[in-house]
Amino acid sequence: MELDIYIVDAFTKQQFKGNSAAVVPLQQWLAPEVMQSIAAENNLSETAFIRALSVNKYEIRWFSPLTEIDFCGHATLASSYVIFNHLGGQGEIEFVTREVGALFVNQLSDDRIEMSFPNQCPQVVERAPDALLAGLSVTPIQVLKNRQAYFAVMASEHDVKSLSYSSEQLKQLAPFDVVVTAKASAITNEYDFISRYFWPANGGDEDPVTGSIHAGLAPYWAQQLAKNDLVAYQASQRGGILFCNIVNDRVLVSGFAVLYLKGTAYI
């Protein structure tokens, strides 16, 4: 069996920045263990498998090297890039998911790809887990949680950029991941808030850019900063910029993407 495969750098205009995702279009679903093996072989944060249901309507599933993932933003952006640029897609794309409902995607006039996610604003936890506090070198000023991750809010941008972490400690929080975040420093004019994302239980140590978590980060910071249009920076080694907008019960997250590789997988 021969399968087309694309590798796209998401949330960036530059190759080798942002977060890489593999995209594999399918006619029919493969066995889950085969899709998991492909994702492990790719060894990227996520491999997205997409299956057309009708014009501009696709099922999508995401796999990390370790497990199937409920929700992945950057691989959704990468999949949309492939559909718009290589599969003839035009107008609005609808993705049908198993865990988070329908996702809607449009391409903007400046070539950004805009995704509509359900609002997943986190809620404050009464007591931060010991493994979370032990796993981060800086103590957060507040801890929240949504269905995906613990949110550790830090006092400063410097705290987010400089902190170290223990994967062994954070792994104990499974199935939840961890995002650390802070308001951007006063001298920064390019973005409103900053984050880093750790997911040792589900995929790897630090994720380069995590679109899905901004369905929680954006509404949190919209409340804190009293503004609905925000620009976010994920401060991994590769780095990535995300444009966020809160509209009713939806979070619009957009970014650029660039193709790195198109090839054939022989299964």
Could you say which of 2, 46, 114, 157 is catalytic?
46
Neighbour count for residue 43 (Cβ, 10 Å): 11
Whole-angstrom distance, CA of residue 194 vs CA of residue 43:
26
Burial 16-42 (b: 16+ CB within 10 A, else e): ebbbbbbbbbbeeebeeeebbebbeeb
Structure tokens at 128: 């931060």
DSSP annotation of 185 reads P
Is 190 a known active-site residue?
no
Burial 155-168 (b: 16+ CB within 10 A, else e): eebebbeebebeee
Residues, the chain, total? 267
Q: Which residues are catalytic?
A: 46
